[in-house]
Structure 1
Amino acid sequence: MTASPRAHSFNAAADQYAASRPSYPPAVLDCIEDLTSRPLAGARVADIGAGTGIATALLHERGAHVIGVEPGAAMAAQFHTELPDVPLIRGDGHALPLADASHELITYAQSWQWTDTTRSVPEALRVLLPSGALAIWWNTTAFDVPWIREQHQRIAHRCGVKPASRARPDDSDAIRLAGLSGLRVARRQVRWSRGVSLDTHLANISSRSAFLVLAEDDRRAFLTEERSRLRDLFPDELVKETYVVDLLVATRP
C-alpha cells in the first residue's frame, strides 16, 4: 500500500506468513453480514492487501465472488498457491485496478494501516456500488491475558516501538473514515483463540513487520529467549493464542 520498508517486509516471509498467521473466526463475517444487512453469498467483494489470501479464503468459502488485490510479488505468488481458483490482480488501495461502481463490498484485513486514508477512502467509494460497504479489521492483542501483554511489551522494546496499552487506543480509524466521506461507521469486537505449536507461535511473531526489519542476529536472539520463556509457561509446547478482532464497517447513510 505504501513504500515504507515495513509495508514491503512481508514479501521476504510470504511462506512463513501463510503457514503461521492466524485466520479470523466465522463471527467476523457474521458481523459484516449483520452490519451491511446482506449475505456475503453471491456478493461481489474485493479484498485489498490480500496477502497470502487468509481473509480472501474465508470470503470465498462464504460464497462471495471475491477477487484479491495485492501489491507484493511474493505474497501474490503464495496467494496463487493457496487459492489457485480465486482471481488476484496486482495493485494497492491508493489506485485500485477495479472499475467504478463494480463491487458491493471492499475489505481490508490486517492491511488498512498501510494506506493513506485521503487516497484509499475515495478509491473505495469509487469502486463501491451506491449501496456498498467498506469493512476493515485486525486481529489485535488481548491485553487482559498477562503472558500476551508481557510478550507484547518485550516485542515492542526489542523493535524500538512504543508498546500499546490496549488493542486500539482510540477510535481514530472510525473518525477518519466518517470525517472524510460522511460514512456511517459501526464497530464490533470479536474475541477468539487458537491453539498452535510453539514453533508456529514463534514463526507468527517473526512474520510481523516491525520484527522483519530487524537485523537477523536481533531476531534470532529474541526468538531464542522467547522460546525459553514460553517453554516454562507451556511445557507441552502447545500455545493458546488469544485475539480480539477489531472490525469497522463503513456504509453510506
Structure 2
Amino acid sequence: MTDSAQAQRALSFDTAADQYDAARPGYPPALFDAVEELVGRPLTGAQAVDVGAGTGIATRLLRERGARVTAVEPGAGMASRFRRSLPGVPLVRGVGDALPLADASADVVTYAQSFHWTDPARSLPEALRVLRPGGALALWWNVADADVPWIAAQGERLMCDFADAAHGRPGGADRALPDDVPRAERRVYWTRRVPLDTHLANLGSHSLFLVAGKEAARAFLDRERAELLRLFPDGSVEEAYAVDLMVTRRPA
C-alpha cells in the first residue's frame, strides 16, 4: 500500500465516527489483566497515554481500571466523537510518529487497534521517549477468530471482494515491532453476541469499506446480510475474537 493510500485509509474513520463508536467491539477484562501482568504494575494510578484513541473505546476501559489517561487522536471526526463521549478526559490532536507530549511523562503508552497506522521507525522511539524509565508500550488488536467456521468463511468472502482485506488484525501487524525489540505477547479469546445490524455496522466501519465507495460496500454488506441470516435466523450473531497483545518496555 502506498503512503498516500495508507493515509487515506487511516483518516477514513472520520466519516463514520458515530457508526464506529456504536458498533465496534470493546475489550474483555481479561485483556487488561494481561496488560497489567506484562506491564508489571496495576493500571490503577498509572499515567497512561492512549494513542490513536479514536472515539475512546479503549480509553474508557483504561479509565475504568483506574488509569489516568491522556488520549492522542489525529482525526477531527473521531476526536469530536471522543469529546462527546468522554468530555472530562484530556485529548490532544496528534499522531504516534510525533507525539505532542513531554519526555518521560507516562507510565504506559497504549495503542488499541491503531499501531499499524504508524511508521514503527518513528512511533517506537516516540513511545520510548514519552515513557518513564521502566515504563511499558502495550499494543493490541481485536482479531476475528478464524478458527470459527462462519468467520473463516466470511474472511474468504472479504478476500474475494477486497483483495487486501484484513479480517480483524490488519496485514503486517504481526511485524508491528522490529524483530530485535524484546517483547512479551499474549492472546486473549472472547466473544460477544450482537444483533445482525450491529455486526454489519461493525464490519462496515472498517477502512476497507470506507474507502471502497458506498456502492461496493453496500453490495457486499447486503449479500452478507442474506448469508448470515441463513446461519443466524434469529438475527443474533455471536462474534468471536482473539485479542493479540504485545508489550515492550523502556529500560529502567
Paired amino acid for 1:143 = A
Q: Percent identity?
A: 55
Deviations along 1:114-159, one digit per CA (max 9) or x if unpaired, are 0100000110011000110000000012111111011011112212
What is the DSSP-based 3-state SS (H/G/I as helix, E as strand, rest coil) of the residue aligned with 2:183?
Answer: strand
Q: Distance in 2 between matches of 1:162 and 1:69?
A: 26
Q: Does 1:154 align with 2:157?
A: yes
State the partner residue of 1:118.
121
User: After the TM superposition, which residues 176-215 of structure 1 pair with which residues of structure 2 at under 5 Å, given as runs?
Assistant: 176=178, 179=180, 183-215=181-213
1:48 shift after superposition: 0.1
Q: Distance in 2 between matches of 1:115 and 1:25?
A: 25
Q: Distance in 1 between matches of 2:173 and 2:14?
A: 30
Q: Does 1:86 align with 2:110?
A: no
Whether the 8 Å CA contact 1:141–1:167 is kept in 2: the answer is no
Q: Deviating runs (4+, > 2 A) in structure 1? A: 166-174
Tell me the TM-score normalised to structure 1 length: 0.92
Q: Distance in 1 between matches of 2:170 and 2:219?
A: 27
State the partner residue of 1:242.
240
Residues paired across the two proteins, number: 246
Paired amino acid for 1:196 = V
1:184 shift after superposition: 2.7
Q: Distance in 1 between matches of 2:114 and 2:141?
A: 8
Q: 1:206 to 1:168 in 2, by over 3 A?
A: closer
Tell me the TM-score normalised to structure 2 length: 0.93
Q: 1:208 to 1:171 in 2, by over 3 A?
A: closer
Unaligned runs of 5+ in 2: none
Pairing partner for 1:233 from 231, 234, 252: 231
Unaligned runs of 5+ in 1: none
Q: 1:38 to 1:21 in 2, by over 3 A?
A: same
Q: Does 1:74 align with 2:77?
A: yes
Q: 1:159 to 1:168 in 2, by over 3 A?
A: closer
